[in-house]
Amino acid sequence: MTAIVGRYGAGPAPEGPGPDGAPVVAGKRPRSVLAYRARHSPTLIIGATITLGLVLVAVLAPLISPYVPDHQDLYNILSGFSSKHLLGTDELGRDELSRLIWAGRTDLRVGILAVIFPFCFGTAMGTLAGYRGGWLDTVVMRAVDVLIAFPFYVLVIGLIFVVGAGTTGIYVAFAVVDWVVYARAVRSTTLVVRESDYVAAARTGGLPDWRILWRHVLPNTITQAVVYLTNDVVLVIVAVVTLGYLGLGVQPPTPDWGAMISEGQEFLTTYWALATLPGIAVLITGLGLSLLGDGLADVLRPQ
Amino acid sequence: MDQAVAVAPPAAPPGTARPLLAADGLNVSFPVGPGHRLVAVEDVSFTLGEGETLGIVGESGCGKSTVAKCLAGLLRPGSGTVSLQGVALPARRSRQQHRAVQLVFQDPYSSLNPRLSVRSVLRELLLFHGLARGDAVEGRCRELMALVGLADGALDGYPSSFSGGQRQRIAIARALAVEPQVLVADEPISALDVSVQAAILDLFADLRDRLGIGTVLISHNLAAVRHVCDRAAVMYLGRIVEIGRKDEIFADPRHPYTRALLAAAPRLRPGPDRVRARLKGEPPSMTERPTGCPFHPRCPRAEAVCGAQLPELLPAPAGSSRLAACHFRDEKP
Amino acid sequence: MNGPVLKAPVLEVPVLKVSGLTVSVGRGARRHVAVQDVGFEVPAGGSLGVVGESGSGKSLTLRALMGLLPPGVRAERGVVELAGEPLPFTGPRARSARRGRLAMVFQDPLSGLDPVHTVGAQVAEVPRRVLGQPAVASRRRAVELLRLVGLPDPERRSQAFPHQLSGGMRQRVLIAMALASEPKVLLCDEPTTALDVTVQAQVLELLDDVRRRLGVAVVFVSHDLAVVRQVCDRLAVMYTGRLVETGRSADVLDHPAHPYTLGLLEAVVDLDDVDHMPVTIPGALPDLAHVPSGCPFHPRCRFASEDCAQGVPPFRYLNDRQWGAGEGSDGEGTDEEGSDGEGTDEEVTDGARGTACKYPERVTAG
């Protein structure tokens, strides 16, 4: 045995340029390459920081919020910025900052929960459709075509009218509508991965399909879905806020940025903060998540 | 359509009752467009004996990769069978049947899952097939690494940290992990550097000697086939045109296409002036097959009979184990 | 002149002259040299083969000559002269100086051709744009060129799209496009590697034919020693970006003067040499960012001695009489002792035969 090892030489020594002309980095696992890229991607760092900050604020709301969000101080309605109420109060004397924080908690929670089912279901459908093909592929893709043909909000609002306004309605609506994009994206990548030699090797190795899908196909197709996920969360959060604005989303008394914007509308010329500040909060959230998504796309790109 | 005739007996030591692997009348074709079929493989039959290495040579479009996929069970032939130890393998193979025939792919850069370490890949196969358990798994992984000439440390690595030659070794280790009886290597060295090719060919020869597995080596590199294989088959447009022991094929080719291939291959040291049999024209399309002998439109030796009648694979010269599919098979070059 | 140069025969004026070419990749801490000090001269109508494996720098050398270096890759030093006129590597003059004088044939005919235009139109574009000929004349010239490269039925074929042609035909079209600008030098980057063996034979014959008929010089990059033997008069062997051996093809391949060349020859499986078992070169190609000190090949060299690790050995020219005796030689040179003893290297060398090994005699003995 040792004689052969000596003859062929020990590995994994680098042997000159890798496939893309860049020198092969000896012994480095893909994870550390990812970590290296992550550290050097300003987009990812900024996006992650903002997002993490928002999440922390949302999680720690009970601790850091100066007031309970529905505490009404009717002697102090519509006050401007002051030391007692940093961002002022609304038309019912509720502290704006507290409401912002608690609304953020609600909207982030609903937004994130609402994408979980679409992500899982869409990825599963896309993978199965791409790998098996045949009637399954046809059925799934026609369903996708039908759903995509409808404007997003029309479907969502329609469903909410059927199910009823409120968080349940939101979850159901997104579950029905939002999975299609994941399915399409994952299906295309699956079609490519399915033809690769290592999948063929797994098949000749006698491994059953479910195992191949789980260990060989999915890890290589899921990065697409993950990157899209971060963008989808933005979409969904904005949608939740929009629905709240329309009165169809999170119902009062639970605070919600959309409802805050809607209520603050009538005071736009006098106390602009009421409608504008929630808007800025949504902006920052969207920015943070988008940057995070871009950064992830950059880091996870194939080597 | 003519039936394929006698299948060459394996050159394995006498006493081998049945060939290890046998392909019998394989046909693979795909529908393309209205009324047209692309014939990838037509009437291919051959055998592989225990411990024997069979080379399949031919240029692009000759169907050799399709044959490899049929042997490994990745592709179901339209008709014809692949048999192991005399038993025909069904279209959907069982775990055991899959283990018996393993494939090594051409492109070392895409034949390994980029997200799995070498150890994970080997473990998965060993555990799934019950070939090792518990502590024995690690030991077996190390044995496999040693078998293909890599250090133990390679087990921790991911494909991206290895060179082409090393990846091919890993691919071979993966194939060997399930203890196959036949190894089918589809152009295993063409994507590698020249100085590395020799090492991989060496490895194949070594494995054949140590493990006694049968190997089917598919390559367009005639020199490689001549060095490693015991027997060789030459394919053109989906059919076998010549098959026999390698010294017969290379020293005394009896099919004009084989002669043209040998003449066209560039030599490192110029030998005596070979007949520069330059082929006319371009390789024909796989959807519009010529009548009679598929090679006749380009053949320098072709006559009227060639376009009219498909030549059978018959012994040439009579009584030998080598077969050639040419009406003029008895003429010496 | 500093640095290694494979010189052209004395009485012939080189049409292409390269000296001290150095190309680096990357910036700052991650910068490494991919081509180091490469020089050669190609006479008009001559053919030079550049041989090496991955990382040898052969393709980058060609791209530097063509002014086609990718972003992040820079030609730091070096002079390239075409018929005496220096060519800039970058800048606006880079393209115009090469137009009509230097042309390149790439490895992959499928990606070298635009899929939405007919091949005739693509070939005709060259005389039209480069040489300024009117459209009708350009189309006629295109058909002529397609006929010249051996494309059957050129009038009809010129109306075909690239995907309708086979690989061999596409490569001929690429050669036609390269010739359309009436260049003096044709640079070929592994033009037959992607082709079948029988098609390769046809294309190599075509290149030879073109060279003889049109007097075009050819620089042929390949990893295949047998192919370059067939096509090229002279050879330059490269390893990790440097020239390690040069000379006439027959001399280099029959009597190598560098251990790497010997290693390559021993590793190659040759069709005719049945008894020769291929021997792999021990070790592995080094990462270009970590080239061994001293002679870059020494860790893998079986003739190496201690001093091979100290200092990069200079490239030197060899006495022709001892290293293959030139035209029509079959080893006779070694018998000529010459009563006046050894001449100095300059007298009996024409600058073609050179090596970067300190002890080339060990290679012949070994």
pLDDT digits (tens, 9 = 90+) for C154-198: 888 889 999 888 888 889 999 999 998 889 999 999 988 878 888
CATH of the domain at B245: 3.40.50.300
Can you give the pLDDT at residue C323? 65
Average pLDDT of the residues in A253-281: 87
DSSP H helices, B212-332, are 222-228, 246-251, 256-264, 304-308
How many angstroms separate the CA atoms of B100 and B98, rounded? 5
Q: Which residue has the higher pLDDT, B216 or C29?
A: B216
Q: Which residue has the higher pLDDT, C231 or C366?
A: C231
Bridge partners of C42, per DSSP, are C16
Average pLDDT of the residues of chain B: 86
A104 in Cβ contact with A257 (< 8 Å) = yes
State the pLDDT confidence band at C3, using cuts at 50, 70 and 90. Answer: confident
Task: Let me know if C99 is exposed, middle or buried by CB neighbors in 10 A (0-12, 13-18, 19+).
Answer: middle
| Structural domain boundaries, residue C301 | 1-101+183-366
Which subunits count as partners of chain B given 3+ CB pairs below 8 Å? Answer: A, C
| pLDDT higher than 70, residue A1 | no
Query: Would you say residue C341 lies in a domain?
Result: yes
Q: Note the pLDDT tens digit of each residue in C195-254.
A: 888 888 888 988 988 899 888 999 999 988 989 988 899 999 999 999 999 999 988 998
Number of domains, chain C:
1
Strand ranges of the sheet holding B53-57, from the earlier edge strand across to the other edge: B101-104, B182-186, B214-219, B53-57, B231-236, B239-245, B323-324, B314-315
Number of domains, chain B:
1
Number of domains, chain A:
1
Task: Let me know if C334 is exposed, middle or buried by CB neighbors in 10 A (0-12, 13-18, 19+).
Answer: middle
Query: Would you say residue B77 lies in a domain?
Result: yes
Bridge partners of C19, per DSSP, are C79
What are the chain B neighbours of C223 within 8 Å (beta carbons)? 193-194
State the pLDDT confidence band at B272, using cuts at 50, 70 and 90. Answer: low
Average pLDDT of the residues in B187-193: 87
Contact C229 B268 (CB under 8 A): yes
3-class secondary-structure state, position B163: coil
State the pLDDT confidence band at B267, using cuts at 50, 70 and 90. Answer: confident
Query: Would you say residue A268 lies in a domain?
Result: yes
Query: Would you say residue A149 lies in a domain?
Result: yes
Can you give the pLDDT at residue C344? 43
Of C219, C208, C226, C248, the closest CA to residue C353 belongs to C248
Contact B227 C269 (CB under 8 A): yes
Contact B265 C271 (CB under 8 A): yes
Q: Which helix (H) or strand (E) holds B42?
A: strand B37-48
Query: Would you say residue A134 lies in a domain?
Result: yes
How many angstroms separate the CA atoms of B83 and B7, rounded? 13
State the pLDDT confidence band at C322, using cuts at 50, 70 and 90. Answer: low
A61 in Cβ contact with A105 (< 8 Å) = yes
B241 in Cβ contact with B312 (< 8 Å) = no
Which tokens sit at A22? Answer: 């860049």
Can you give the pLDDT at residue A31? 65
Residue of C nearest to A23 (CA): C287
CATH of the domain at C340: 3.40.50.300
How many angstroms separate the CA atoms of B67 and B21, rounded? 13
Q: Which helix (H) or strand (E) holds A148?
A: helix A134-149
| pLDDT higher than 90, residue C304 | no
Q: Give a three-class secondary structure readout of chain C.
A: CCCCCECCCCCCCEEEEEEEEEEEECCHHHCEEEEEEEEEEEECCCEEEEECCCCCCHHHHHHHHHCCCCCCEEEEEEEEEECCEECCCCCHHHHHHHCCCEEEECCCHHHHCCCCCCHHHHHHHHHHHHCCCCHHHHHHHHHHHHHHCCCCCHHHHCCCCHHHCCHHHHHHHHHHHHHHCCCCEEEEECCCCCCCHHHHHHHHHHHHHHHHHHCCEEEEEECCHHHHHHHCCEEEEEECCEEEEEEEHHHHHHCCCCHHHHHHHHHCCCCCCCCCCCCCCCCCCCCHHHCCCCCCCHHHCCCCCHHHHCCCCCCEECCCCCCCCCCCCCCHHHHCCCCCCCCCHHHHCCCCCEECCCCHHHHHHC
First-last CA distance in chain C: 32
| pLDDT higher than 80, residue C273 | no
Query: Would you say residue C139 lies in a domain?
Result: no
How many angstroms separate the CA atoms of B178 and B187, rounded? 21
Query: Would you say residue C147 lies in a domain?
Result: no
Mutate to test the interface with B, among C197, C220, C232 (most CBs of B within 10 A): C197
How many angstroms separate the CA atoms of B8 and B249, rounded? 14
Mutate to test the interface with B, among C271, C285, C288 (most CBs of B within 10 A): C271
| Structural domain boundaries, residue A163 | 38-68+80-300
State the pLDDT confidence band at C349, using cuts at 50, 70 and 90. Answer: low
Q: Where are the beta strands (DSSP E) in B187-325?
A: 214-219, 231-236, 239-245, 314-315, 323-324
Can you give the pLDDT at residue C326? 42
Average pLDDT of the residues in A18-47: 63
Can you give the pLDDT at residue C332? 36
> Mutual orientation of helices A218-245 and A179-194 as an angle, nearest 10°?
170
CA angle A187/A193/A196 to nearest 5° reads 155
Query: Would you say residue B10 lies in a domain?
Result: no
What are the chain C neighbours of B224 within 8 Å (beta carbons)? 269
Q: Note the pLDDT tens digit of each residue in B295-319.
A: 988 888 888 888 888 998 889 888 8
Whether residue A15 lies within 8 A of chain C, CB to CB, comes out as yes
How many angstroms separate the CA atoms of C152 and C132, rounded? 27
Residue position matching structure tokens 């087990």: B155
Average pLDDT of the residues in B26-50: 89
Of B194, A26, B193, B157, the closest CA to residue C290 belongs to A26
CA angle C238/C244/C245 to nearest 5° reads 100
Of C57, C60, C78, the closest CA to residue C69 belongs to C60
Query: Would you say residue B331 lies in a domain?
Result: no
Residue position matching structure tokens 């196909």: A217
3-class secondary-structure state, position B26: strand
Contact B110 A197 (CB under 8 A): yes
How close A54 gets to chain C, by Cα (Å)?
Answer: 38
Residue of C nearest to A16 (CA): C287
Which subunits count as partners of chain A given 3+ CB pairs below 8 Å? Answer: B, C
Question: Does the interface ipTM go beyond 0.95?
Answer: no
| pLDDT higher than 60, residue B1 | no
Q: Note the pLDDT tens digit of each residue in A287-298.
A: 999 999 888 888
B192 in Cβ contact with B168 (< 8 Å) = yes
Mutate to test the interface with C, among A4, A8, A15 (most CBs of C within 10 A): A15
Can you give the pLDDT at residue B190? 85
| pLDDT higher than 90, residue A139 | yes
Average pLDDT of the residues in A147-167: 88
Which subunits count as partners of chain C given 3+ CB pairs below 8 Å? Answer: A, B
- pTM (2 decimals)? 0.81
Query: Would you say residue A161 lies in a domain?
Result: yes
How many angstroms separate the CA atoms of C10 and A213, rounded? 67
- Cross-chain CB nearest to A203 (options B74, B110, B129): B74
Can you give the pLDDT at residue C148? 87
Query: Would you say residue C253 lies in a domain?
Result: yes
Can you give the pLDDT at residue C71? 87
- Cross-chain CB nearest to B154 (options A12, A215, A220): A12
| Structural domain boundaries, residue B288 | 21-115+158-271+278-324
CATH of the domain at A148: 1.10.3720.10
Query: Would you say residue B204 lies in a domain?
Result: yes
Average pLDDT of the residues of chain C: 84
Average pLDDT of the residues in C96-103: 86
Query: Would you say residue B34 lies in a domain?
Result: yes
Query: Would you say residue B133 lies in a domain?
Result: no
The percent of residues in chain C predicted with pLDDT above 90, rounded, is 30
Neighbours of C302 (CB within 10 A): 12
How many angstroms separate the CA atoms of B42 and B64, rounded? 11
Can you give the pLDDT at residue A23? 33
What are the chain B neighbours of A213 within 8 Å (beta carbons)? none
- Region of residue B214 (left: phi > 0; alpha: psi -120 to 50; beta: else): beta
State the pLDDT confidence band at B179, using cuts at 50, 70 and 90. Answer: very high
Q: Note the pLDDT tens digit of each residue in B62-72.
A: 889 999 999 99
Can you give the pLDDT at residue A22? 31
What are the chain B neighbours of A23 within 8 Å (beta carbons)? none
State the pLDDT confidence band at B227, using cuts at 50, 70 and 90. Answer: confident
Average pLDDT of the residues in B201-228: 89
- Cross-chain CB nearest to A205 (options B125, B157, B164): B125
